Chains A and B, each alone.
Chain A
Amino acid sequence: MAFNQRIFYACQAVAIAPRGTDPVAATHVVHGVQSVGMTSTFTLEQVFELGQLEIYENVEEVADIEVTLEKVIDGYKTIYNLASNGEAANSIVTAASKRCDVYVAIFDDTLDNATGTPKSVCMNSGMAVSSVSYNYSVDGNATESVTLVGNDRFWNSVTAGVIADSPINIWTDGGGQADLTGTAGINGGDTPPSGVVRRADVDLANSTLPSEVTSQMGDDAVGLGGGYHVQSISVSCDFGQELIQELGRFGPYTRYATFPVEVTAEFEVIATSGDLVSVSGNAPNLVDRSIIIKDTAGTVLNLGTKNKLTSVSYTGGDTGGGNATVTYSYSNFNSLTVADGGQT
């Protein structure tokens, strides 16, 4: 139980809009958000000079801003989709190059739901997707977790000469406020279009899974599980997102994903007959596998056709009474598209 100095805010609503969008509209609101974490890191570089004990200059470098959002998968647009301006479903390269503004509205104590002008709005400007992960498990809800990185953060009425309008104005201007608080927004009656995805909603029967994963299959297929006895699936990708600087400019010239990026998928399956993976020293053992994971909310995680098994681990089945499980890990490079239920 590590204790760190954290500040907890009551969050009213989160919106992700393409960079420079003004005002924010209901289509930009992220539904089903569970929690958001924000961290800023400052880099300082000391310059000393000979003959002087005191510091010569303490040079400040560009601050790094990191925002991590987690939502349940519920038929609404995914965070990755919003952050990549819809490119998540098309191409990982284009998605990684898109920039967005992330708004977090802080709850006003006097309101019952996210209506009216928020007390404070924090805007993280020019954010790029740094990592995404999707988790399906037999316990709890299916979740999406996305981390975005950037260098600019503004509160309320601040523009700091960087953005054209202040966060609070962008949030409340024009039709934005009406949209956010009306029937399309979070108004106390907001419900997930598909229902929150849980174990019964993971459509493995119509997914494309590696044959190793389905090899533990029994003869009692009921529902959408295909009888594969899968316990959990996690898919993740870390984009890197490094800065490029240029002379004559404090801030970064651009950010870029450090391709090739590795996309990993892990399947934990109840073992019914060992891990069933044979290994030979005389010939290659692995073949490319296609992986497409679907759920009833309309989410489709497509990891392409060139996934290779990177490890298999067999755990459990000990005298403690736990079940034996096999975890199959696959990876590919640069191949991940995410389609969602698409509702806004």
Chain B
Amino acid sequence: MDDVYYEKILYRILQGRLRLRLGDLVLFVEEPTADIIEESFEIYDKAYKEAYYNKVPIKEELLDILIDNNMWSPLDDKTAEKIEKEIEEMKLQAFEKFYDTRFLNSIKMNLRKKEEDLYKTKKKKLALDHTSCEGVASFSRSLWVLNHTTFYAKNHKAYDWQHLTVHNLFDLYMSKQIKYESIRYISRKDPWRSMWSLGKKSCGIFNRDLMDTTKDQHTLCHYSIMYDNIYEHPNSPNDKVINDDDCLDGWMIKQRRETEKNKKQQEVDALTKNSKIANSQEVFLMARDQESANEIYNLNNPHAKNLVKQREQQIKNSEGNLNFKELIDIKQDIAVQSHQQALQGAKTKGRGRR
């Protein structure tokens, strides 16, 4: 995409409307005002009731239908969670290896594949949404809003639907939705960046009240604030990372994890004031109930959590033969200690020979 493309989108966002040219016909599809949005919920409620009395299923009921027809299962939710975690890890890798272009390209390819998988997995659950009361009501509302926000460009009179139906226009409108990636790109580039900097210091950017700003304008502001914060961060990444969405996501994931780790560490340090206990390998904190037990287990970092699970499993599987020294992690510790001591011994001997 070239700069003109993004500039075109920027001005669409600034104007808060979509300009549609269909031959000689030029239409404006404007973003709904607060009045229209407020009224549109009446349409939603009315359509919902009608659908409900006509025995259209509600969204919750669709889950059974999806399961019965092998269209979705609760396992898909778990798969989606797993893919999301994989995506997070890959983004982190992308940040950590941003200088290795070949590796980065390969990660990006895998990322796009995973994102597609995630989309497909999540889509399964939504496959019949349009047939639910909520889906029908939501669609009716969208059409009503479109009906009240479409105008002739030449005289700004309400469109009379002589040339195309509201359904046709709805499809066209949906196909021209602005992608988040595009808004994100715009938010860190000129000319928007200059507008943003100046607008913050003057009277605003969109020349309208906050209540009347559009969804895309909100998104653009959110991204702009995010980039402001990144530029002002004491460990701000370099421009190559900032300009690459995947790498920057990875940087943010890393920052988030470090913050969580520090926060957890502070919580833990506050809990165990006795320095002997605080510096022990295993710390046992009294739990009153299941909730507090879970909170205590959550104090563990991922590595310690795995150790707890691993130990539990090993203790469970052993029938009277497990000595504490046989715990896998303890054996590993002993092996590492042995290796380090051997290494140290060899170095000392080497120095002695010289």
Contacts and interface: CB of A to CB of B under 8 A. Distances in A.
B268 A6 contact: yes
Interface in A106-149: 106-107, 109-113, 119-120, 143, 145, 147
B354 to A, nearest CB: 16
Interface stretch (B27-35, B187-195, B270-278): B270-278
Interface in B256-281: 265-266, 268-269, 271-272, 274, 276-281
Interface stretch (B105-113, B171-179, B240-248, B300-308): B300-308
A120 B274 contact: no
A158 B320 CA distance: 5
A158 B322 contact: yes
A106 B287 CA distance: 9
Nearest to B294: A109
Interface string A55-67: 1001010010010
- Which 10 pairs of residues, A with B, have the shortest CB-CB distance? A37-B280, A37-B277, A10-B293, A10-B287, A11-B284, A36-B284, A10-B296, A107-B293, A68-B276, A153-B324
Interface stretch (A42-50, A199-207, A303-311, A322-330): A42-50
Contacts of A112: 289-290
A142 B184 CA distance: 57
A159 B320 contact: yes
B141 to A, nearest CB: 44
Contacts of B334: 42, 44, 60
A5 interface: yes
A254 interface: no
A109 B276 contact: no
A6 B272 CA distance: 12
Report, as a range, how many residues of chain A touch the other chain. 35 or more
B41 to A, nearest CB: 43
Contacts of B1: none
A156 interface: yes
A7 B277 contact: no
A8 B265 CA distance: 12
Contacts, number: 165
Nearest to A157: B320
Contacts of B308: 7, 9
Nearest to B261: A3
Contact of B286 (A3, A5, A34): A34
Contacts of A164: none
Given A42-B334, A120-B312, A155-B324, A6 B342 contact: no
A4 interface: yes
A160 B303 CA distance: 28
A21 interface: no
B252 interface: no
A40 B323 CA distance: 13
Contact of A5 (B278, B284, B303): B303
B285 interface: yes
B281 A9 contact: no
B207 to A, nearest CB: 49
A84 interface: no
Given A39-B281, A55-B342, A10 B319 contact: no
B283 A119 contact: no
Contacts of A48: 345, 349
Contacts of B323: 154, 158, 160
B268 A111 contact: no
A8 B268 contact: yes
A161 B290 CA distance: 35
Interface in A45-87: 46, 48, 53, 55, 58, 60, 63, 66, 68, 70
B330 interface: yes
B285 A11 contact: yes
B341 A113 contact: no
A37 B337 contact: no
B299 interface: yes
B324 A42 contact: no
B161 interface: no
